[in-house]
Amino acid sequence: MPFEDSETVDLGPISEGTPGMFEETVRDVRLEFGAASHIGKVRDNNEDHYSVVRRTRSREILLTNVDTSDVVLPDDHAHVMVVTDGVGGRGFGELASEFVLRCGWELAGQASSWLMKFEETKWDEICERIESYARRIQRALQEYARAYPKLAGMGTTWTCFYIVGADAVVAHLGDSRGYLYRQGQLRQLTHDHTFAQDLLDRGLSEAQTAPFRHILTNSFGDRQEEVWTETDHIPLVNGDRLLLCSDGLTDMVPDAEIAATLGEFNEPQAACDELIKRALDHGGKDNVTVVLANVDVRAA
């Protein structure tokens, strides 16, 4: 029924609490980052690379005859943390790990849309998008290597967190690692894609598998035609910390010591610097890279 001309209706603010419209609880999520990388004590060059990227989606009402004095259009943010660890020697690993980061930035810029809100019902779609993204990076790196035959054998690991709201998606190939530190406990979220890990999964001991721990079974590069990504979803809670690192850290510093360091150093950059120091103190036999995010989740 149409309103009478004299009838005035106060719509009031339309908010996430309006029944039947937006029932999901909105939470304010704030992130603080730290990162560090070091050549180590043995290598001649650093084949590790890292990046932290923020993607922002903004809305602005340019023209309307609706009263907008009570309208709030907050920006949507997504963050991507990535660590790549090159392989191939002669500096080619350094080139591969940088190439993959640059390729990722370019592909992200070409994407018609970014995931700006996590929905569990779309998990299969999210995984397929990640797989497609990885396949495109793999093709680009292989084409580059074919164009420059002297680069044969180069490759790189790739491990990342995609953080949107109070959800994180971990995507991974290779033996760099992603960890969740929650309430004093450190949990490895990724599975090493190495021959040694395959043997461990079959029941062999760590002593038996140690000689094979750096033989990758899944990585970007021309050593294999196809790659596959390991993915998982992590709902975040207040106080969580997300850690990415190359094997230059995990080969030198045991998980218990990593956890103790995170417990001692709350500021993310200070924690990253201390983890680098500990890897060097334990020998620094490889390049070492760490990226850390502190997660602050608050109810709106």
Q: φ, ψ for residue 189 (rounded to 5)?
A: -95, -20
Give SS3 for 103.
helix
Task: For residue 111, give every residue at least 6 positions away whose Cβ sits within 8 Å of its Cβ, in sequence order, or none.
Answer: none
Q: Tell me, yes or no, whether 19 lies in a domain.
A: no
Give SS3 for 149.
helix
Structural domain span for residue 123: 27-62+72-299
β-bridge partners, 38: 288
Q: Tell me, yes or no, whether 211 lies in a domain.
A: yes
Q: Tell me, yes or no, whether 2 lies in a domain.
A: no
CA–CA gap between residue 85 and residue 248 (Å, rounded): 9
Residue with tokens 């943390």: 81
Give SS3 for 264.
helix
β-bridge partners, 162: 80, 169
pLDDT score for 153: 85
Low-confidence ranges of the chain (pLDDT < 50): 1-24, 26
Q: Two tokens at 150? A: 């002297």
Q: Two tokens at 104? A: 């990722």
CA–CA gap between residue 214 and residue 210 (Å, rounded): 9
- If one counts the domains in the chain, the total is 1
Q: Tell me, yes or no, whether 36 lies in a domain.
A: yes
Q: Tell me, yes or no, whether 178 lies in a domain.
A: yes
Report yes or no: 53 and 33 within 8 Å, Cβ to Cβ. Answer: no
Cα–Cα distances in angstroms (integers) from residue 85 to residues 200, 240, 247, 263, in the given order: 22, 25, 8, 26
Nearest to 32 by CA among 163, 156, 199, 146: 163
Q: Tell me, yes or no, whether 125 lies in a domain.
A: yes
CA–CA gap between residue 205 and residue 190 (Å, rounded): 20
Q: Is 18 exposed, middle or buried (0-12, 13-18, 19+ CB in 10 A)?
A: exposed
Report yes or no: 217 and 193 within 8 Å, Cβ to Cβ. Answer: yes
Q: Tell me, yes or no, whether 8 lies in a domain.
A: no
Residue with tokens 């998980």: 255
Q: Tell me, yes or no, whether 244 lies in a domain.
A: yes
- The pTM score is 0.86
For 231-262, b/e burial (b = at least 16 CB within 10 A) is beebebeeebbbbbbbbbbbbbbeeeebbebb
Domain containing residue 128: CATH number: 3.60.40.10
Report yes or no: 240 and 183 within 8 Å, Cβ to Cβ. Answer: no
Q: Is 269 exposed, middle or buried (0-12, 13-18, 19+ CB in 10 A)?
A: middle
Report yes or no: 116 and 169 within 8 Å, Cβ to Cβ. Answer: no
